């Protein structure tokens, strides 16, 4: 697990009002810069500091927002500072990111509070001599805002897209090759917005209408998701999800609206034997079991034992004993379990991928993904497909899905597969994009019938 240096300032409970969540966010930015994953760093810091629900929400918004907007914030530093962003002392750079993000992207934080708390953090966090620099740069940004002077954008469309939507340059370039300019902009905006919090109602334990009524009675704002019979979107602040009505009773689980479209493509039927080949954390396995009325068998396979335990916990909470978690590698399963050859009616391959459809959900992912990694992922995806084919019954159905938007991992994988297996039939395929009218994450899915 990545390690990172803790802040030189001790965590105390005597910091001025509003400073604690900003201090926590700053520590998360430093941790991520040192190699930590954003979600892990945030969880660790939240565990070290007692904050109200509102302050926990603010710390999360500031940390994730500033991480997502890193490239845009660096461009502002380059414009306003005497020293380019890349040459700033890292601790100062991330503190300035925190202050600039509040000025540029948060409409609920007064500018005066954004400036004063950032300067105070500098004084308390070992940057006292640089506090005037922090104050001067943030006030220069504020003056430009008040004068209606936006950040000048480069002439090159791909560079302008990368800066304005804070995307790595390779991805901005590719987006403009895949999409019209307005849709590429919409993709970027969606990736920089906090993701929707969607639920999937467990049809075996309750109805969507009853869950909506229970949420309303608990003063939790929610609405049904169009075209998803069991989908609900939480539209307001919800706090700890485990405290919401119906959680303990297994009336619902958390699942993005795009992911809710995958299991129905497999068209699972009661009594069938189904393999979810890359199952953890179990959202699609439980959806399959619900669609089968908990009749039959869902083998939930995954290589990660820790994540597989989440599948077991989710299955138990939702009351789905037809799910059987199994540790193993899908690519070599037929070698280890030859008796499973030709034994599955349907197979779901939710393949490992670059995750480019979930950048809003994983704040630091865009800065970790390298385009060269796509080659290895495509190879793994093809190995999974080829390794799983012998396990499917003649005439069975296979669904290949990813949470990415890269054509090489999606449509090109399926085209190559069909070229190598002409007896197979493509039944349906689609690509969902972040920023589209359907909302949710970016997902690709293809349903195939065995020859």
Is 329 found in the same domain as 229?
A: no
pTM of the model: 0.92
Long-range CB pairs of 174-181, under 8 A, 24+ apart, other chains included: 174/371, 174/406, 178/405, 178/407, 179/433, 181/157
Q: Number of structural domains, the chain?
A: 4
Same domain, 278 and 340: yes
**Residue 318 falls within a domain, yes or no?**
yes
Q: Active site includes 403?
A: yes
Q: What is the CATH number of the domain that holds 97?
A: 1.10.940.10
Examine the pLDDT at 12 and tell me if it is beyond 80.
no
Percentage of residues of the chain with pLDDT beyond 70: 96
Regarding whether 355 and 309 lie in a shared domain, the answer is yes
Residue numbers of the domain that contains 223: 197-254
- Which region among 7-11, 337-341, 368-372, 397-401 has the lowest average model confidence (pLDDT)? 7-11
Mean pLDDT value of segment 315-334: 95
The CATH number of the domain where 389 resides is what?
3.40.50.150
Instruction: Flag whether 151 is in a domain.
Output: no
Name the domain boundary from 254, 270, 295.
Answer: 254
Q: Per the domain annotation, does 47 fall within a domain?
A: yes
Per-residue pLDDT, averaged over 193-216, amounts to 96
- pLDDT of 253 reads 97
Q: What angle do CA 185, 186, 189 make, to 5 degrees?
A: 90
What does the pLDDT average to over 9-19? 56
Two structure tokens written together for 100: 């600039």
For residue 344, being part of any structural domain is answered with yes
Q: What is the pLDDT of residue 15?
A: 52
- Same domain for 271 and 330, yes or no, is yes
Q: Where are the alpha helices (DSSP H) in 9-130?
A: 19-33, 38-48, 53-68, 70-80, 90-105, 111-124
The pLDDT assigned to 2 comes to: 32
Q: Is the pLDDT of residue 327 over 50?
A: yes
Give the model's pLDDT for residue 437. Answer: 85
What is the rounded distance in angstroms from the CA atom of residue 311 to the CA atom of residue 397?
Answer: 23
Closest CA to 315 of 283, 345, 291: 283
pLDDT of residue 340: 96
Domain boundary among 254, 270, 287: 254
Of 254, 275, 293, the last residue of a domain is 254
Whether the pLDDT of residue 443 is over 70: the answer is yes
3-class secondary structure, 346 = strand
Contact residues for 449 (Cβ-Cβ < 8 A; gap 6+) = 395, 396, 397, 398, 424, 425, 427
348 located within any domain: yes
- For residues 272 and 400, membership in a common domain is answered with yes
Answer yes or no: do 163 and 273 share one domain: no
136 within some domain = yes
Residues 295 and 396 in one domain: yes
Query: How would residue 236 be classed by pLDDT, with cut points 50, 70 and 90?
Result: confident
Other CB atoms within 10 A of residue 385 CB: 24
Residue 78 lies in a domain: yes
Q: What is the pLDDT of residues 348-405, one digit of tens each?
A: 999 999 999 999 999 999 999 999 999 999 999 999 999 999 999 999 999 999 999 9
The CATH number assigned to the domain holding 203 equals 3.30.70.1170
C-alpha of 302 from chain center: 19
Active-site option among 141, 322, 353, 403: 403
Q: Do 308 and 437 fall into the same domain?
A: yes
User: What is the rounded distance in angstroms from the CA atom of residue 289 to the CA atom of residue 287?
Assistant: 5
Q: Are residues 340 and 434 in the same domain?
A: yes
Statement to judge: residues 181 and 245 lie in one domain: no
pLDDT of the residue at 16: 66
Residues 116 and 202 occupy one common structural domain: no
Tell me the two tokens of residue 10: 């001790």
Q: What is the pLDDT of residues 150-162, one digit of tens each?
A: 999 999 999 999 9
Q: What is the pLDDT of residues 68-99, one digit of tens each?
A: 999 999 999 999 999 999 999 999 999 999 99
Q: Is residue 4 part of a domain?
A: no
pLDDT at 438: 84
Could you read off the pLDDT of 20-66 as tens digits, one per residue? 999 999 999 999 999 999 999 999 999 999 999 899 999 999 999 99
267 and 322 share a domain?
A: yes
């Amino acid at each position: 697990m990545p390690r990172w240096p803790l802040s030189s300032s001790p965590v105390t409970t005597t910091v001025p009002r509003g400073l604690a969540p900003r201090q926590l966010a700053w520590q998360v930015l430093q941790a991520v810069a040192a190699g930590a994953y954003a979600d892990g760093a945030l969880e660790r810091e939240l565990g070290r500091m007692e904050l109200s629900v509102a302050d926990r929400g603010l710390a999360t918004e500031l940390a994730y927002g500033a991480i997502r907007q890193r490239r845009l914030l660096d461009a502002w530093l380059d414009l306003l500072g005497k020293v380019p962003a890349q040459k700033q002392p890292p601790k100062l750079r991330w503190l300035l990111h925190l202050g600039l993000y509040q000025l540029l992207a948060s409409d609920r934080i007064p500018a005066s509070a954004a400036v004063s708390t950032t300067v105070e953090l500098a004084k308390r966090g070992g940057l006292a001599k640089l506090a005037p620099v922090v104050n001067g740069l943030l006030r220069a940004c504020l003056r430009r805002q008040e004068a209606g002077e936006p950040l000048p954008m480069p002439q090159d469309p791909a560079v302008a897209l990368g800066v304005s939507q804070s995307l790595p340059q390779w991805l901005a370039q590719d987006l403009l090759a895949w999409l019209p300019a307005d849709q590429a902009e919409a993709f970027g905006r969606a990736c920089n917005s906090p993701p929707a919090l969607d639920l999937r109602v467990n049809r075996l334990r309750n109805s969507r209408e009853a869950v909506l009524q229970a949420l309303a009675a608990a003063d939790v704002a929610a609405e049904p998701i169009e075209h998803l019979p069991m989908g609900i979107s939480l539209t307001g602040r919800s706090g700890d999800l485990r405290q919401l009505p119906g959680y303990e009773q297994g009336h619902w689980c958390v699942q993005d609206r795009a992911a809710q479209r995958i299991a129905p493509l497999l068209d699972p039927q009661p009594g069938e034997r189904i393999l979810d080949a890359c199952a953890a954390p179990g959202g699609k396995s439980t959806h399959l079991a619900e669609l089968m009325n908990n009749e039959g068998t869902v083998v939930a396979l995954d290589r990660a034992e820790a994540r597989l335990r989440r599948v077991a916990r989710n299955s138990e909470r939702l009351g789905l004993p037809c799910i059987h978690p199994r540790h193993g590698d899908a690519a070599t399963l037929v070698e280890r379990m030859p008796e499973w050859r030709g034994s599955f009616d349907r197979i779901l391959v939710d393949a490992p991928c670059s995750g480019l459809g979930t950048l809003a959900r994983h704040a630091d992912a865009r800065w970790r993904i390298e385009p060269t990694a796509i080659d290895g992922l495509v190879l793994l995806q093809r190995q999974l497909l080829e390794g799983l084919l012998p396990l499917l019954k003649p005439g069975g159905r296979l669904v290949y899905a990813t949470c990415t938007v890269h054509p090489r991992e999606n449509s090109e994988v399926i085209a190559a597969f069909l070229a190598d297996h002409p007896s197979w039939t493509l039944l349906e395929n689609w690509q969902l994009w972040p920023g589209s009218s359907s909302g949710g994450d970016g997902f690709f899915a293809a349903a195939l019938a065995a020859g």
